[in-house]
Structure 1
Amino acid sequence: MHNAPPVIYPVGRFVWGVPCIGALALTGAVGLLCWQAASGAEGLTVWGAWALWALSSTLAVSLEARESSAQGHLGWCGDGWSWRDAHMQERVVRLSLLLDGGRYMWVSYRMADAFETHNTWPRIAIVRQTDMPLAWHGFRCAVYSRPLGNGMTSDQTQWPMII
């Protein structure tokens, strides 16, 4: 049985996250204004609706910063996935595919040391073919591959060279 080749793929922050949340919050505010004008609602109902809108908008912005991926690299070496951050520190991760759009993928990954603690949420990354077109096929193959299970530890994994 063949396995995917070793691959390193860059992952960066989703720069459209906050603008998308802002557009949704603005749409919600316009909807609230239209509802308020059309229904003639007053007093505590209106204040409650605006408080709920403010709370949900603030929560969405704060969660976006926590849930988005930092800049780094996802690496596949045949026996599993690793995350290498901007400071070149490597950690073993568990990767899950959320959506495959052909030229882009939404993946989530969770640090291996968080498996036991259950206090770290998975990170979400949008990976696009345009970020590294020559490695795209290898990355897609790696996402769908199973680890070889040859007993290597994360300290023994070898990252391929980035050219």
Structure 2
Amino acid sequence: MHSAPSVTYPVGRSRWAGRLALALWLAGAGAAALWLLQPGAAGWRQALALAAVLAAGAAALQAWRTAPQGELHWDGRQWLWSRRGGPQQPGLVTVHLDLQRCLLLRLQILDGRVRWLWLEPSFQPGRWNDLRRAVYSRASRQAPADLRDRQAAARP
């Protein structure tokens, strides 16, 4: 069995994830608006629902704007993450959602931080299949030794 080729893939704001968040927010806003339009429905509960919908929209927009940006690199043995202009940090990548044209990855960096990365082919179309091969390679599911040791020590 051959290992996946090394690949460096850019990470940025995913349009797909932004559209999904917008669609979910619009569905929630629509439901709140319909509830608000019911005869005799105006009250503190509806005001609270409206405030919650507005807060959720603001939180989703802020999360999309501050989405991690950098590069994810697979060298054939381990995953490395680097913010733009920053040092490379080893980590463990796991796939949480695969829609063929969009991947949601969980990156656990050696220092314990977790990043959620939405990746799509438009970031670098020529390397998309290489990235997909790397995230599903048997070796990519092996945590670096330091990360395995930390995870074992953290278990009760």
State the TM-score, normalizing by the size of structure 1: 0.69
Amino acid at match of 1:11: V
Contact map agreement 1:106 1:127 (CA 8 A) in 2 = no
Amino acid at match of 1:74: L
The equivalent of 2:84 in structure 1 is 86
Q: How many residues align?
A: 144
Residues 52-90 of structure 1, C-alpha deviation per residue, up to 9 Å, x if partnerless?
323333333334445x221x2111112110012221421
Specify the SS of the correspondent of 1:38: coil
Contact map agreement 2:95 2:106 (CA 8 A) in 1 = yes
Aligned-CA RMSD value:
3.0
Residues 20-79 of structure 1, C-alpha deviation per residue, up to 9 Å, x if partnerless?
54554444334323222224213322222223323333333334445x221x21111121
Specify the SS of the correspondent of 2:106: strand
State the TM-score, normalizing by the size of structure 2: 0.71
Alpha-carbon distance between aligned partners in 2 of 1:50 and 1:95, rounded to the nearest angstrom: 37
- Deviating beyond 6 angstroms after TM superposition, the runs of 4 or more aligned structure 1 residues are none
Aligned pairs (5 A) from 1:137-156: 137-147=129-139
Specify the SS of the correspondent of 1:122: strand
Residues 101-133 of structure 1, C-alpha deviation per residue, up to 9 Å, x if partnerless?
33432222122111xxxxx343222231x4333
Which among 103, 127, 133 is matched to residue 125 of structure 2? 133
The equivalent of 2:99 in structure 1 is 101
